[in-house]
Structure 1
Amino acid sequence: MARNVSDFVIQRIREWGVSRVFAFPGDGIGEFDGALGAAQRKGDGLDYIRPTHEEICSLMATAHAKFTGEIGVCIATSSPGAFHMLNGLYDAKSDNQPVVAIVGQQALSSLGTFEQQEDNLERTMEDVAVYVKTIVTPQQAQAVVDTAFRTALVHLGPAVIVLPHDVQSMDMPELTPANGVSRSSAVAPSVKIIPPEAEITKAADIINAGGKVSFLVGHGSNGATDEVLQAAKLCGAGIVTALRAKQVVPSDVPYHTQQLGLLGTRASQRQMEGCDTLVLLGTNYPYSQFLPESGQARAIQVDLKPEQMGLRYPTELNIWGDVKQTLLALIPHLEQKTDLSWQEGIAKDMVEWENEMQAQAMLNYDDGVNPRRVYYELNKRLPAKAIVTCDAGSTADWYGHHIRFREGMTGDLSGRLASMAAAMPYATAAKFAHSDRCVVCTIGDGAFQMLGMNELITVKKYLSKWDNPQFIIMVLHNNDLTQVSWEMRTEDANPVWPVSQDVESVDYAGWAELLGFKGIRVKSDGEVAAAWDAAFSHQGVTLIDAYTSKNVPPLPPKITMEFAKNTAKAMLHRDPDEIAVVKDSAKALTAEGIERVKGKLNIGQDD
């Protein structure tokens, strides 16, 4: 039997199937930290991973949930530690990931007395958490812990347990029947929800009636790859994947057109413009301007988050269900399409787009390495079962445009929150979860200065724990917050303001070398391929410091009048990079136009 509340909570965490926690110590959680250490010494503790910041703890817990399908757990001290974790917890909330955060608190007698590091943590966490509760008596601990884990799993979000310092060391009694005392169980509920047969029949009738069906597949379809492909084959559908769902459908499926929107493909945009039936599977795709016109398509949405259904497009049918189980029930009702011209046209559009992406990647610029080339050459060399992370910003543009996951590969990023600085915590969490696999972190210099440089220290600390020591970091080194610079131009018609946008240049490869890792500096396009070859042949940690151009335009697949007009206005307002931006954009647009003409004339790459 557990000796005190801390011992019990640790034991209960293990009963929920958790073996690893991401934590940072402090006096507000001190007794619990001591119990964690004691349990580890006895051989029945938890794998305690301590990165360099509490925000990293919560981002790693979120990433652990994404890369494993398990609950992520993070631990921190009272107010300052809890507040630092908020960003990662919002990442879990935004991307529907089950995470449990355990945060310390000052003693019960000090609550509400303005004690040092004492704040109303329940109120603070109310917005981010699907469940938040303070344990105020030992008899309450079991029910609070179980409810936190159960709610995180069912509601797909972060739950928060507040553990006051004095409660942590209180004796834990054996619970017996008593008024006001709940005796709960550490049993996970099933979330494999199957909709009623009548809903399945309605969905089948809508899909069977369609002649141009498109599937928009999100991260909620993880684990349902076979079912998605079988359903698409039956109804002759094209498949678009959300950015966080690239791995759900292998890139060699010819009618998989990758992403939609600013980071997407023209083939995906054409699907949305031409489809008569839209099936949204496990996605809360946030950019409704890229979806079909209202009334153009009959639409169905399948999701475990009913409150997020019917928000982006006026759906005809909303099905509350697990994507895999719903498709298994739906597939027997789907009719085999004999006219596959819609699907074949989609595949042809995608070949044209891939030719454009190759042409864009092979352009040379005077002001630095082409960032597209860096991702293009990476994609060609990704080993089996590779894991790739990217950050918010221009890295997400190039990740979306150029990275293609073959079967068994995966990747992720901060999705709806789109938080900068998540790529390194995600990559390290992925390595802990799958230490036998090669992990590649792609990150911009702005984000790398936030939480990346210090996370190399975490990598150094834990490298010996990993079965496969291969861990690669690629930094886009352009001394600029590039995505925001382009957004200033294209969204707001403002010239770039260097005071806000400039990033101090740092020798990132030198920093890696200082820690004993391999550093590679890339300063010309001709060095890119060799750099990746060297990184993948090195059985250890490699940092590629790629000195890239900040002026290569992240061109959307469809340039709107507003996009063009705002960019032109920004140039008229004396953008400091005006000449380079105009020159590089013209070069990119020319290459795009040439490839479109080739596609129209059916001219091959070697003609």
Structure 2
Amino acid sequence: MSRTVSDHILERLRAWEVEYVFAYPGDGINGLLAAWGRAGDNPRFIQARHEEMAAFEAVGYAKFSGRLGVCAATSGPGAIHLLNGLYDAKLDHVPVVAIVGQTARSAMGGSYQQEVDLLTLYKDVASDFREMVTVPEQLPNVLDRAIRTALARRTVTAVIIPSDVQQLDYAPPEHAFKMVPSSLGRPHYAATPSDEDLLRAADVLNAGERAAILVGQGARGARQEVMAIADRLNAGVAKALLGKDALDDELPCVTGSIGLLGTRPSYELMRDCDTLLVIGSSFPYTQFLPQFGQARGVQIDIDPHMVGLRYPFEVNLVGDARETLSRLLPMLTARQDNGWREKIEQDTARWWEVMRRRAAVEADPINPEYVVHVLDDMLPENVVLASDSGSAANWYARHLRLRGTMRGSLSGTLATMGPGVPYAIGAKFAHGDRPAIALVGDGAMQMNGMAELITIVKYWQEWEDPRLVVAVLNNQDLNQVTWEMRAMEGAPQFLPSQAIPDIAYADFARLIGLDGLRIETPQDVPGAWQAALASDRPCVLDFVTDPAVPPIPPHATLDQIEAAATAVLKGDSDRAAMVRQGFRAKVQEFLPGRRRSSPPRARDQR
């Protein structure tokens, strides 16, 4: 039997060592589906419930494996549905290739069923490379370039294949004019700056007295080098959310996350420093960085297109974080004065004590901060965490201390709703021997998380470690937007847009063959986490939480407090509880308490 274009595509994916393609079927890729049958489902076709979820699963797989994510969808609506997940990959610099069908060539331009101008539609999301295959000889070059570009530039690329082309006999490019051959393989390299640029950076860093370091996901492979630099400069280290797992939170000088979802020590670190070193991060919110002119800055990034952003840096170093820091370290002078570092460590220890007290604030019925704070002591050493967007991301950012081999991520730049559960599914295909946890709000769970529980049912028994815990913070409110309305607009909660129904998430989980528990009292929270992490199958925890617990930002101003008070005066449906919880939570920052080098931990519960 002759090989078709579809057969060759799957063969080429195998040659690139692609193990999984996250997808949903449709007649626009029938040729590919038939080839999958002939190939013995290699690479594995992982069936999501929706194309957007397939894209999110490819993103989660790529984020947690460090490898290429691949997704596939049919023409027209299928290709359209992929877009949100693909934008998530693009904005978070994750390598993903989308393979999408198209109507037959003979129908193009005829306003045919499901005919969409995909080259135009994908022009932005796959701006680095998108191509439609119209003759077999275009392969393997088109697919190779899509894969190599996605990996090299950490971005999204797209290969569009009309349905009739999928079924043509494959013919390789010939040794002839206007034929483009190709080859496999991605070379590995570690770019480093010149000695001259490194000396300039060292001059800036040596001149300061109060150094701050900000790390992102690009610093994940340079933990020891980051800490060596921090110790040499007596610096504090803050983390962008995408870099939450780049450095241990238990290190005394690590101040935690930065930004609206960040910590007070990180905010003060940036507010008071005179020197800033940014490593592998494109953190976008300049208002959380030092005042312009206050601090001298150095940036390190492997992507030359991403340096010089966000802050007026004096020196921009293009290079691999680990290699660059290794060469920079001998050029730095050790700080003798420990006062700055000691203050950072004291403030950080104080912050974790504040978090403990905020989690202990009584709520009706359960404080969501308590739910996540309890989990912190129970996290398995090799856990993979996925947080959804919304108020759940606040508690993920502030209450979970990642350490060792723990991994965690969320939709950092797009901040879209809905990736929590599919990220965790992608993580399980990347690391089937590790437990995974998804923290999601009830809005995200209703949007798409419940349907993806069916995907979990389909595949969980093939994972070496069956544990995948989906924790739903069920407050019957689209809570993050509610608080944004209160704080930014001074507007009361608008119930027609914000109130959502109370769904029996745990019952649904049990109905389809998973474990599930509904938790309605704080006394039952620890036991629920223990049961889920000891279960022999994936488990849904339905925590009924109080929507009035505010995600107060680390820099909360009087104006924002006044705006929230205005919402109360305008008749917010939740005004009494909102005021009570807001002030009770905020006051925890000012209560007296012992300063500690590290926060108290109930290690016997881990």
Superposition TM-score, scaled by structure 2 size: 0.96
* Structure 1 counterpart SS, 2:386: strand
Cα shift at 1:2: 7.6
Q: Map 1:65-214; keep pairs closer than 5 Å.
A: 65-129=62-126, 130-190=128-188, 192-214=190-212
1:592 is matched with which residue? 589
Deviation string 1:420-446 (CA, Å, 9 cap, x unpaired) is 010000001101111111111110000
Alignment match of 1:289 (pick from 287, 290, 306): 287
1:263 is matched with which residue? 261
* Structure 1 counterpart SS, 2:255: coil
Task: Answer yes or no: is 1:347 the counterpart of 2:342.
Answer: no
Cα shift at 1:601: 12
Deviation larger for 560-569 or 423-432: 560-569
Task: Answer yes or no: is 1:27 the counterpart of 2:24.
Answer: no
- Relative to structure 1, the CA distance from residue 194 to residue 105 in structure 2 (aligned partners, 3 Å threshold; closer, same or farther) is same
Deviation string 1:82-132 (CA, Å, 9 cap, x unpaired) is 000000000001100110000000111211111101111000000111211
Deviation string 1:372-431 (CA, Å, 9 cap, x unpaired) is 000011111001101111110000000011000110101111110001010000001101
Distance in 2 of aligned mates of 1:556 and 1:573: 23
Distance in 2 of aligned mates of 1:385 and 1:512: 25
1:581 is matched with which residue? 578
Cα shift at 1:577: 0.8
Deviation string 1:27-76 (CA, Å, 9 cap, x unpaired) is 111101111121126xxx21211011100111111111110111100000
2:548 is matched with which residue? 551
* Structure 2 counterpart SS, 1:176: coil
What letter is aligned with 2:100?
V
Q: What residue ranges of structure 2 are gaps of 5+ in the alignment? A: 601-606
Distance in 2 of aligned mates of 1:119 and 1:600: 62
Given that 2:22 and 2:72 are in contact with CA atoms closer than 8 Å, whether structure 1 keeps it comes out as yes
Deviation string 1:453-480 (CA, Å, 9 cap, x unpaired) is 0111111110111001111111001100
Deviation string 1:120-162 (CA, Å, 9 cap, x unpaired) is 1000000111211101111112111111111111221100000
Distance in 2 of aligned mates of 1:404 and 1:281: 20
Distance in 2 of aligned mates of 1:444 and 1:171: 49
2:604 is matched with which residue? none
Distance in 1 of aligned mates of 2:418 and 2:573: 26
Distance in 1 of aligned mates of 2:433 and 2:595: 45
Alignment match of 2:412 (pick from 406, 412, 415): 415
Distance in 1 of aligned mates of 2:247 and 2:467: 26
Q: Map 1:239-250; keep pairs closer than 5 Å.
A: 239-250=237-248
Deviation larger for 388-397 or 520-529: 520-529
* Structure 1 counterpart SS, 2:547: coil
* Structure 2 counterpart SS, 1:118: coil
1:374 is matched with which residue? 371
Q: Map 1:515-526; keep pairs closer than 5 Å.
A: 515-526=512-523
Distance in 2 of aligned mates of 1:460 and 1:419: 25
Alignment match of 1:476 (pick from 450, 473, 476): 473
Given that 2:517 and 2:542 are in contact with CA atoms closer than 8 Å, whether structure 1 keeps it comes out as yes
Deviation larger for 144-153 or 326-335: 326-335
Deviation larger for 157-166 or 181-190: 181-190
- Relative to structure 1, the CA distance from residue 601 to residue 147 in structure 2 (aligned partners, 3 Å threshold; closer, same or farther) is closer
Given that 2:346 and 2:595 are in contact with CA atoms closer than 8 Å, whether structure 1 keeps it comes out as no
Distance in 2 of aligned mates of 1:560 and 1:105: 52
What letter is aligned with 1:136?
T
* Structure 1 counterpart SS, 2:245: helix
Given that 2:108 and 2:115 are in contact with CA atoms closer than 8 Å, whether structure 1 keeps it comes out as yes
* Structure 2 counterpart SS, 1:49: strand
Distance in 2 of aligned mates of 1:197 and 1:109: 58
- Relative to structure 1, the CA distance from residue 128 to residue 601 in structure 2 (aligned partners, 3 Å threshold; closer, same or farther) is closer
Distance in 1 of aligned mates of 2:264 and 2:195: 37
What letter is aligned with 1:308?
M
Distance in 2 of aligned mates of 1:496 and 1:504: 16
Distance in 2 of aligned mates of 1:384 and 1:532: 15
Given that 1:154 and 1:189 are in contact with CA atoms closer than 8 Å, whether structure 2 keeps it comes out as no
Deviation larger for 336-345 or 272-281: 336-345
1:3 is matched with which residue? 3
Given that 2:75 and 2:100 are in contact with CA atoms closer than 8 Å, whether structure 1 keeps it comes out as yes
Deviation larger for 585-594 or 450-459: 585-594
* Structure 2 counterpart SS, 1:555: coil
Distance in 2 of aligned mates of 1:566 and 1:547: 27
Cα shift at 1:207: 1.2
Given that 1:154 and 1:191 are in contact with CA atoms closer than 8 Å, whether structure 2 keeps it comes out as no
Distance in 2 of aligned mates of 1:463 and 1:250: 30
Q: What residue ranges of structure 1 are gaps of 5+ in the alignment? A: none
Distance in 2 of aligned mates of 1:339 and 1:17: 52
Alignment match of 2:323 (pick from 318, 325, 345): 325
* Structure 2 counterpart SS, 1:453: helix
* Structure 2 counterpart SS, 1:223: helix
Given that 2:129 and 2:146 are in contact with CA atoms closer than 8 Å, whether structure 1 keeps it comes out as yes
Distance in 1 of aligned mates of 2:407 and 2:285: 23
- Relative to structure 1, the CA distance from residue 233 to residue 54 in structure 2 (aligned partners, 3 Å threshold; closer, same or farther) is same
Distance in 2 of aligned mates of 1:590 and 1:573: 24
* Structure 2 counterpart SS, 1:307: coil
2:603 is matched with which residue? none
Alignment match of 2:275 (pick from 271, 274, 277): 277
Given that 2:359 and 2:370 are in contact with CA atoms closer than 8 Å, whether structure 1 keeps it comes out as yes
Superposition TM-score, scaled by structure 1 size: 0.96
Distance in 2 of aligned mates of 1:158 and 1:544: 34
Distance in 2 of aligned mates of 1:599 and 1:49: 52
Cα shift at 1:191: 5.2
- Relative to structure 1, the CA distance from residue 191 to residue 444 in structure 2 (aligned partners, 3 Å threshold; closer, same or farther) is farther
* Structure 2 counterpart SS, 1:440: strand
Distance in 1 of aligned mates of 2:596 and 2:43: 62
Given that 2:138 and 2:173 are in contact with CA atoms closer than 8 Å, whether structure 1 keeps it comes out as no
What letter is aligned with 1:578?
R
- Relative to structure 1, the CA distance from residue 211 to residue 29 in structure 2 (aligned partners, 3 Å threshold; closer, same or farther) is same
1:222 is matched with which residue? 220
Distance in 2 of aligned mates of 1:68 and 1:344: 37
Which 4+ runs in 1 deviate beyond 6 A?
Answer: none
Distance in 2 of aligned mates of 1:136 and 1:587: 64
